Amino acid sequence: MPSLWISNARVIDPASKRDAVGDLFISNGKIVASLSSAEKKKAKKIDAKGLVACPGLVDIHVHFREPGQMHKETIETGSRAAAAGGFTSVVCMPNTAPVADTAGTIQQIKDAIARTACIKVYQTGCITVGMKGQALAPIGSLKRAGVIAITDDGDCVQSNDLMRRACEYAKMFDLPLMDHCQDHSMTVGAVMNEGVVSTRLGLKGWPNAAEDIIVSRNVILATYTGAHIHMQHISSKASVELLRRAKARGVSVTAEATPHHIALTDEACGTYDTHFKMNPPLRTEEDRIAIIEGLRDGTLDILATDHAPHTDYEKDKEFDYAPNGILGLETALAVSLEILVRKNKFKLATVVDLFTRKPAQLLKLEAGTLADGAPADVCLFDPNEKWVYDAKAGFSKSSNSPWHGQELRGRVKTTIVDGKVVFNNGKISA
């Protein structure tokens, strides 16, 4: 593998507090401080003038649907979509078919990753057997099989007692719990945010309170057990406030926000377009602003996409019957730059941090930095390039994106994994 010499880039690496125009050197799959004159002569040079070079993006919340729903996405297609979005490490949720609640299934997934993934793909395991919320999954075996966290994402453990035991048990293995915060009893039949828009549309609403109650429960259990609970895709203002107070007390909780929850509100559901149907649902403008402020002050630790592919024919239904979820990997950076940097005056380095150092740290992944000796996982992007996103021409097997056909600003040009270019100028090169 040739050494790489990326020149004239604005190198942003929050982990090593670097933000300056300069060069980046890669040798033997690692970031190096410099190359010798002889190495420089042999190195493949990438002129990155006008581009940002940052650590490869890290997404700790994706659904790649393998095994069981490979008509929607596979590890191969999902990892390609990730590479096209600048991601070099992603973490898959366990709600596959079968769900990832045994060491055997984890091994099957790991084998598929080894065979087909063009980036680094990590796996989580279930909290409960069959994700049914009734009995603990074999968490120790899952850990030995290689999971890096446990979650029943897509679902939420309803029994407070079982969640308490999961916290205690997982702590023994130093495994974080990730939770999709949703009280089932309050959301039966719910298909969008409960509020003025759902009232007008006559659709069953999913109230903020159903999220807030579980966030509160998790704060209490994290306090009581000392386990680390990571709250997934936070969508409500009150949840942000609950987390803010908990963090001020030093409780071991973290949380994520998605690009769609910072960009869109429930008004987008006004024409019953199922590309805006997701769980948790798009909330109100007040909630959206609170999430952005949560990201600004660190209450919400990271950005994550909740990349959730579904086929066209599955989404092409009455709103009540369509599945929840949208694609996210190929648009996450552009959408986040638009909302956070251009509209809310975040520093570019802050957004890079939310996508790199912080998520890597949260799950202890060897990623998220361009420090000397780190794996050479790099994303090169033009923060200002305008482009029209064509979901049907994307790398995911599905095309369920609310940003299909829209002009976005900020485009990933090159993605490098362990020193190897896997995506360049619109093409996968892995």
Partner 1 sequence: MPWTRRHLLTLEELSLHEIDQIHATAAAFKKILGRSVKKVPALRGKTIVNLFLEPSTRTRMAFDMAAKRLSADVISLDGSSSSTTKGETLRDTAQNIEALQADMIVIRHSAAGSPLYLSKILGIPVINAGDGSHEHPTQGLLDTFTMREHLGSLKGRKVVILGDILFSRVARSNIHALTKFGANVTIVGPSTLVPRTFEALGVTVSHDLKSALSDADVVMLLRIQHERQTAGMFPSLGEYTGLFGLNKTRASWLNPKAIIMHPGPINRGVEIDSELADGNNSVILEQVTNGIAVRMAVLYLCSGGQPESVVSA
Taking a C-beta distance cutoff of 8 angstroms, is the pair 306, 233 a contact?
A: yes
Residues binding partner 1: number (CB under 8 A):
18
**What is the rounded distance in angstroms from the CA atom of residue 349 to the CA atom of residue 72?**
34
Closest separation in Å from C-beta 121 to partner 1: 33
Amino acid at 310: H
189 or 250: CB nearest partner 1 = 189
Please report, in range form, the residues annotated as the binding site for Zn(2+): 61, 63, 153, 180, 233, 306
How is residue 276 annotated by DSSP?
A: G
Closest separation in Å from C-beta 403 to partner 1: 20
Q: Which of 316, 366, 372, 390 binds partner 1 (CB under 8 A)?
A: 316
Task: Examine residue 321 and tell whether it contacts partner 1 (CB under 8 A).
Answer: yes
Please report, in range form, the residues annotated as the binding site for substrate: 63-65, 95, 279, 310
237 or 247: CB nearest partner 1 = 237
Q: Is 306 a catalytic residue?
A: yes
Pairing of strands 229-231, 177-179: parallel
Report the site for partner 1 in 190-219 (rule: CB under 8 A). Answer: 195-196, 198-204
Report the site for partner 1 in 248-307 (rule: CB under 8 A). Answer: 271-272
194 or 353: CB nearest partner 1 = 194
Taking a C-beta distance cutoff of 8 angstroms, is the pair 90, 110 a contact?
A: no
**What is the rounded distance in angstroms from the CA atom of residue 83 to the CA atom of residue 328?**
12
136 or 278: CB nearest partner 1 = 278
Query: Per the residue annotation, which of 152, 287, 306, 377 is the catalytic one?
Result: 306
Query: What is the 3-state secondary structure of 253-269?
Result: EEEEECHHHHHCCHHHH
285 or 320: CB nearest partner 1 = 320
Among the residue ranges 13-21, 173-181, 229-237, 318-326, the one whose residues contact partner 1 (CB under 8 A): 318-326
Closest separation in Å from C-beta 196 to partner 1: 4
Q: Which two tokens stand for residue 222?
A: 């994290």
Q: Which of 318, 393, 425, 427 binds partner 1 (CB under 8 A)?
A: 318
Among the residue ranges 74-82, 241-249, 319-327, 330-338, the one whose residues contact partner 1 (CB under 8 A): 319-327
**Of 2, 49, 42, the residue nearest 23 (C-alpha):** 49
Taking a C-beta distance cutoff of 8 angstroms, is the pair 257, 237 a contact?
A: no
Taking a C-beta distance cutoff of 8 angstroms, is the pair 16, 55 a contact?
A: no
Closest separation in Å from C-beta 158 to partner 1: 17
Instruction: State the burial class of residue 111 (Cβ atoms within 10 Å of its Cβ: 0-12, 13-18, 19+).
Output: exposed
**What is the rounded distance in angstroms from the CA atom of residue 23 to the CA atom of residue 7?**
4
Task: Give the three-state DSSP class for 241.
Answer: helix
Pairing of strands 57-62, 177-179: unpaired
Report the site for partner 1 in 139-198 (rule: CB under 8 A). Answer: 195-196, 198
Closest separation in Å from C-beta 410 to partner 1: 31
Question: Residues in the site for partner 1, rule: CB under 8 A?
Answer: 195-196, 198-204, 271-272, 313, 316-321
The residues assigned a catalytic role are 306
